[in-house]
Amino acid sequence: MRQFFGKLNFIHRQLWHQDLYYRGSLLLGPAALVGVLLASLLWWGRTELAKGNATVAGPQTPPNWASPRGKDQYWDKSDDALATVKPTAPLPPIGALTGALIGLTPGWEMYSGQLEVNGVDANLLPTRLTTFSLVGSTFDMASILAAGPKDGPLYIGVGTAFLAIKTPGIYGLSARLARPAGQRANCLTRLVLGGRRVVSNLDIDLRDDVLKTFDPVRFDLQPGLYRIGLAFGCWHNQEATGPGAVTLMIAYPGEQNLVPARADDIVRLEQPGSQPHQ
């Protein structure tokens, strides 16, 4: 055994003095292997530690402000965009005596929706405080305040209805905000069709006369009933206040100008919770 190690020692000394590559491989090889080993051990240790922390803390949910808001929540408003939406239900037959769609009546199903305000952000909560109905294309703060709770949390008026399309073609949909000068207030306007937002606007600290129509979205619509939603409200110091109004605006096929939606184009079920006649 001593002879064996002696020969190895002799070979090592000879190569060390005569071969540059031998010296390089001897110095770098073990060092690299040790480095890789140490790095692997550190990585494994951190991974196991992270797993342990995740097990103790449970799944992590990102905060609201960190949640991404995809573009698919909004319809495209570019000039060349043309959206297609499928009807929620077909048009019901028209009554022979009334000339109106059977099972439907003009107007909106309304409720006072609780509003959560944090700084300059406003979030509509699912809480329904009171329920009522409105007829026509306009939500005004006088009606919303009259039907809302007399005390309690901040709220706005929220309405759902069917947009009754009888003629196929290209329609433009938007909303118009009107508020005369008065006490300063913040106002929220939202319009939804087909599960996506046509308008979603928060106006801060209004105090002068305001009359503006938001950019429309163009839709290729076929005859049928389309579920539509409109929300509006103004508040000051965490209390709902008037005056103010928002109007559903439509550009009908063959027309460029937006006009208030016709009253018979906005309908709701005669018996809430039922289904439209087919």
- Please report the pLDDT score of residue 40 as a whole number: 45
Residue 64 predicted with pLDDT over 60: no
Q: Tell me the per-residue pLDDT of 166-186, one tens digit each, with 9 for 90 and over.
A: 999 999 999 999 999 988 999
**Dist. CA 174–CA 91, nearest whole Å:** 23
Given a cut of 70, whether residue 70 has pLDDT beyond it is: no
**For residue range 136-147, what is the model confidence (pLDDT) as tens digits?**
999 999 999 999
Cα 12 to Cα 7, 22, 25, distances in angstroms: 8, 9, 13
- Tell me if residue 165 falls in helix, strand or coil: strand
CB-based contact 258:251 (threshold 8 Å): yes
> Which CATH code fits 71-269?
2.60.120
What is the reported pLDDT for 272? 66
Any idea what DSSP says for residue 94?
B
**216 HSE (CA, 13 A, CB side):** 21
First and final C-alpha spacing in the chain: 100
CB 89 within 8 A of CB 227: no
- For the entire predicted model, the pTM comes to 0.72
Residue 272 CA to its chain's centroid (Å): 26
pLDDT digits (tens, 9 = 90+) for 9-45: 545 555 445 555 555 554 555 554 444 344 444 444 5
> How much is the mean pLDDT over the chain?
81
Sequence-ordered list of residues with C-beta below 8 angstroms from that of 217, at least 6 positions apart, any chain: 75, 76, 77, 81, 83, 172, 173, 174, 193, 198
pLDDT for position 243: 95
Question: pLDDT-derived band of residue 50, with 50, 70 and 90 as boundaries?
Answer: very low
Where do the structural domains in the chain lie, given as residue ranges? 2-57, 71-269
Q: Residue 94: pLDDT band by 50, 70, 90 thresholds?
A: confident
Residue 95: pLDDT band with limits 50, 70, 90: confident
37-46, 134-143, 149-158, 205-214: lowest mean pLDDT where? 37-46
Are the C-beta atoms of 203 and 66 separated by less than 8 Å? no
